[in-house]
Amino acid sequence: MAQSEKAEEILEKPHLTEEQAGQLVERLYGLKVKSVKPLDSYYDMNFYVTVDGPAPWAHGYTLKVTNGTESKNEDLIEAQNKMMAFLADRGFPVPRVVPNLQGRDMSLEQLLKNENVSYSHNIVRLLTYLPGTVYHNVPVTHHLAYEAGAFLAKVQKALRDFSHPALHRPDFVWSLRYVPSLEKHLHCLKEDPHVDIIREIIQAFREKVLPRMDDLQQGVMHGDFNEQNVLVEEDPVTPSEYRVCGLLDYGGIIVDPYIFDLAIALMYFMSVVLKDPFSFGGQLVAGYESVRALTPAEWDVLYYCVAARALQSYVLGHYTASLHPENTEYLMFTAGSVWKFIELWWGTPKEEIYKQWRNIQNN
């Protein structure tokens, strides 16, 4: 999902037909297009492209046409490209950017808008397409949750040697640092019966997490490690199990506390598990700690960070629906499932969850 830098920004989705997408690929990359298929994307436009003749990548390509608002931030998109190249060079299964005929990783293209009377300017990229199935679409097991946690920690560890000035994003609405500012969007929840709990979680984050920021290890992180952005494949050693085989969507990359990255992953991965989500969260943490042990300060704040991320998803989902009423059905469905998780998580004492997780690690 495209992620606006500021909540009040309205991201204008590009308009491109499959035929136009194919023409872009042929003109910019010199490839003979065989087929073009639209891919799900919220504010951008993505297409799965296959080509005729010899091609350096057998699995096809993803044409990414960035929304007009984010296309103005070329430095951030450059950072995304460089991070993908950095991880790919170190053996991580991530997309690679394909240079265009001018040898550039991206180009700013003038595209007709939907009404065909004005133009938008959109950054266009071609990425290698990664085969696999999104984590959300396979049976969730403890083994896979453990794998995902270990993979996240390995990515964080590798990114210690990566830097880019565009990754310092003080106003990024999806950073957990932004959580106290959610209060200014609560007007979108006028008749919501949960407002008191929302304010309680925001205040807990303000009191329990923000004063500890200097105690939390920070660095470059993916920022959106969720069940839709992680690809998996059948494990050749254990065919009944899956293993991680890809990481997508670099729109949330940022310099922030590492524990925020883990909290984001935990919230998303647990919220899609209907039965006993905390045990799957414990496996994810165990996998993570098999690579990088959490510090006492990180353990202290993790519980509140998980709740805060869920709250971000819920509140900003409602706020975005007020800006884009055409997407209300999708956004409210997502928000409904997130609230069920918030009630379960916030209604369970921190010590009880941590005790269960320690037992998982000890066993």
Instruction: Provide DSSP, 208-254.
Output: HTGGGGGGS-EEEE-S---TTTEEEEE-SSSTTSEEEEEE---TT-E
Q: Are 230 and 199 in contact (CB under 8 A)?
A: no
Q: What pLDDT does residue 335 have?
A: 72
Instruction: pLDDT band for 191, please (50, 70, 90 cuts).
Output: confident
Q: What pLDDT does residue 189 have?
A: 84
Picking from 222, 290, 191, the residue whose alpha carbon sits closest to that of residue 3 is 222
Average pLDDT value for residue range 86-90: 98
Sign, CA dihedral 263-265-270-272, equals positive
Spell out the domain ranges in the chain.
Answer: 18-130, 134-362
Kindly state the percentage of the chain with pLDDT values over 70: 93
Average pLDDT value for residue range 123-146: 95
Q: What pLDDT does residue 177 have?
A: 96
Range of lowest pLDDT (197-201, 277-281, 338-342, 352-356): 338-342
Sign, CA dihedral 272-243-143-156, equals negative
Which CATH code, of 3.40.50.720, 1.10.4160.10, 3.30.200.20, 3.30.420.40, is assigned to 18-130?
3.30.200.20
Summarised one tens digit per residue, pLDDT across range 174-183 is 999 999 999 9
Catalytic residue annotation: 224
Instruction: pLDDT band for 116, please (50, 70, 90 cuts).
Output: low
Range of lowest pLDDT (298-302, 308-312, 333-337): 333-337
Range of lowest pLDDT (259-263, 278-282, 290-294, 323-327): 323-327
Q: What pLDDT does residue 274 have?
A: 78
Instruction: pLDDT band for 114, please (50, 70, 90 cuts).
Output: low
Q: Hey, do 18-130 and 134-362 end up sharing a CATH topology, with the first three levels equal? A: no
- Rg of the chain on CA atoms, in Å: 21
**DSSP H helices in the chain:** 18-29, 74-89, 142-158, 195-208, 258-271, 277-289, 296-323, 328-346, 350-362
In the numeric block, the tokens 């700690």 are attached to 289
pLDDT of residue 356 exceeding 90? yes
Average pLDDT value for residue range 9-32: 89
**Taking phi first (over 0 means left), then psi (-120 to 50 degrees means alpha), and beta for anything else, what does residue 67 get?**
beta
Summarised one tens digit per residue, pLDDT across range 199-237 is 999 999 999 999 999 999 999 999 999 999 999 999 888
Average pLDDT value for residue range 247-253: 95
- Write out the CATH class of domain 134-362: alpha beta
Instruction: pLDDT band for 196, please (50, 70, 90 cuts).
Output: very high
Distance CA 319, CA 323 (A): 7
Sequence-distant (≥ 6) Cβ neighbours of residue 210 within 8 angstroms: 180
Picking from 126, 77, 88, the residue whose alpha carbon sits closest to that of residue 246 is 88
What's the farthest any 2 CA atoms get from each other in the chain?
A: 64
Kindly state the percentage of the chain with pLDDT values over 90: 76
Instruction: pLDDT band for 10, please (50, 70, 90 cuts).
Output: low
Cα dist from 222 to 23, 83, 189, whole Å: 32, 9, 30
Range of lowest pLDDT (3-7, 43-47, 226-230, 247-251): 3-7
